[in-house]
Structure 1
Amino acid sequence: MQQDPIGLNFYHGTGGYVWQLAETLQHDLNENIHTLALQKPTPPIAINSFAVYPRKLDSLAQVQWEKDVQIIKNKPALIGKRQIQPITVVSTKSSAFGGFDFLTFTALHEGCSVQSLKEIKLNGCLFDADNLLISLLRHGLIQTDQQAFSKDHATALLREPTCRIVNSPLGSLAINQLNGRTIRLNEKTKPLLQKATTEIHLQHPIEQTTIFFIKAGMLRLVK
């Protein structure tokens, strides 16, 4: 299994990994508390990788930001178009991050029901809220009062809506918009991710290649 190619994970041609820049933004908010040290970069994993939910959360379930997230206002976007992001939310536990519109930020700050959110603007793009909320859960950005199933209850695989496949001179790449991971795909993994836009039957035990993409936050286990 090919690991994350290093240069592709850098932020806009700099020498910094996007998840390290997310950590730097956190440090800027807490510079009197923490000391920031350079460390060997480790690609982040989705903190709740193997949490299993239905394809959509219950419409009456309550959702809100995780308690550990930090809110940064009016900073350059970490991923996507070069622009100033009104609200950037960063998880202190998982190095996941996202740029959100003010209405979504306010709703999740106060706590709301799933049915009250129709669409969410993430990194400048509109997503169906029902589907995106589970992605945010798996990456540790929000919490809910709906219980998750264990991975043993999973019956299918689904590609996260925040996982994009793009073509480049280096070949086909999968990009996780919630942590910046960029992984080069091969003749086996590209069809897997392409097919997973709709549910794929899951066989147990789960293959190591599939586990790799689940931990990377690109594939989701569903029931």
Structure 2
Amino acid sequence: FAVPGAPTDRSFEAAFQRAAGKWRVGLPEAGLRKKPGLQGPIDDVFYDSFLMVPPSGPSAHTAVNAWVQHELNWMRVNWRGQFRGDAPEKAASDVTAEDIAENHLILWGDAVGNPLVARVLAGLPIGWTKDELTLAGSTRPATTHVPVMIFPNPLNPEKYVVLNSGFTFRAHGSNADQTPKLPDYALIDVTLPPTPTAPGGVVTAGFFDELWQVK
């Protein structure tokens, strides 16, 4: 963006938005929109204060529960190995309104095993019942599939909520390997083993659009 005249001292601030193919001056209208610090992908949650919330009880399905416990433990161990500290963690019953106001939340499990997942689920763009899981137009059995995703927290839209994911790179041989491997969301088949790029079989994956909607 440039205008003729003397250079600015960088104190000038302005906001622009593009709608119907045209730019105009002004802030975006109210509602969910991607913006710096709230644009994904999943690994963006680690650029600010975050809090992991493990399940309070088992998930509804045995295979899903085993996968959740494995991935949660993988995150704990590998966070310490890569970043030399313990990832901050709290039980769901101990999470306060202040925690929700100040932190991104990483929630593990399903609505049966984690009460915070149950609280936010209605505000997320997924359908997750005891029998079926629907994400981005793909429906799979809930007995063997799990969503991993990042989205504005329905309890505090200025912060993220992440479901069932730590950092998404799994290879540690080189810094070149330590880059995000999943976008904003993915549907994972837990019957398939993890790979260097995914925590299981990736059925579908993608980015939400600029309004945090499925493209």
Q: Which has the higher contact order (CA 8 A, sep 6+)?
A: 1
Query: Smaller-chain TM-score range?
Result: under 0.3
- TM-score, normalisation: structure 1: 0.25
